[in-house]
Chain A
Amino acid sequence: EIVLTQSPGTLSLSPGERATLSCRASQSVTSNYLAWYQQKPGQAPRLLIYGASSRATGIPDRFSGSGSGTDFTLTITRLEPEDFAVYYCQQYGSSPTFGQGTKVEIK
């Protein structure tokens, strides 16, 4: 099983700032099969990014994904009020697994 470790656990930022979230895999993720999700309280996760860097339908371009192998990054260039949430990475190069999440909170 591939273990995904996300850091930091919590990111305290102000609207308009840049957010950089990290996801590290315990072994190389096949074909960079990595996705990112956003989850708000009481809601299901929402797909943001797949294939490490492809935005899902309807996702604003302030969200971008990068990385390969074992190290991946989600960047939010300018935080909007609706972006404060928990973010999860997920690999699907082998049996799917999720990271433990990074909470982006208002500073």
Chain B
Amino acid sequence: QLQLQESGPGLVKPSETLSLTCNVSGVSISGSNFYWAWIRQSPGRGLDWIASIYYTGSTYYNPSLKSRVTISVDTSKNQFSLKVNSVTAADTAVYYCARDRGGSYYFDNWGQGTLVTASS
């Protein structure tokens, strides 16, 4: 049974880098024909897709966030990660990792989410 679990700091200072990891269990990232995604949700902005990655390293990014975001994959650990540079209060959100059915497609399995607050 596929499970996704986000981990990372819950508090990040403005101008610093937000780093999150999603651990995938129940399926091999490199053995499946799916992409893997980060999505965030905040009261002000609602749901925003951030980026998606395939086990080969092929990526898709939200154009509005692309300049500050990096998504990466570590198949040896069966996990993928997100970095957001130069964070501001607007990056405060619940961050979800999810399985992406086609590379910036729809998302059929989600982690429970982790709250990240950008504050000094």
A residues with a Cβ closer than 8 A to B are 1, 33, 35, 43-47, 50, 56-57, 88, 90, 92, 95-101
Query: Is chain A's binding surface mostly helix, strand, loop or mixed?
Result: loop
What 10 A-B pairs come out closest when comparing CB atoms?
A44-B110, A98-B47, A35-B106, A96-B49, A92-B105, A47-B108, A50-B106, A100-B46, A92-B106, A96-B104
Closest-CB distance, A2 to chain B (whole angstroms): 12
Given contacts A35-B106, A90-B106, contact A44 B49 (CB under 8 A): no
Q: Mark B79-115, 1 if CB is under 8 A from A, else 0.
A: 0000000000000000010100110111110111100
Inter-chain contacts of B31 with A (CB < 8 A): none
Number of chain B residues whose Cβ lies closer than 8 Å to a Cβ of chain A: 21
Known: A33-B105, A92-B106. 5 other contacts (CB 8 A): A1-B64, A44-B112, A90-B47, A95-B60, A95-B62
Q: Which of A96, A97, A100 has most chain B Cβ within 10 Å?
A: A96
The answer to whether B46 and A92 have CB atoms under 8 Å apart is no
Decide if A47 touches B47 in the complex (CB within 8 Å): no
Contact A96 B63 (CB under 8 A): no
Nearest B residue to A90 via CB reads B106
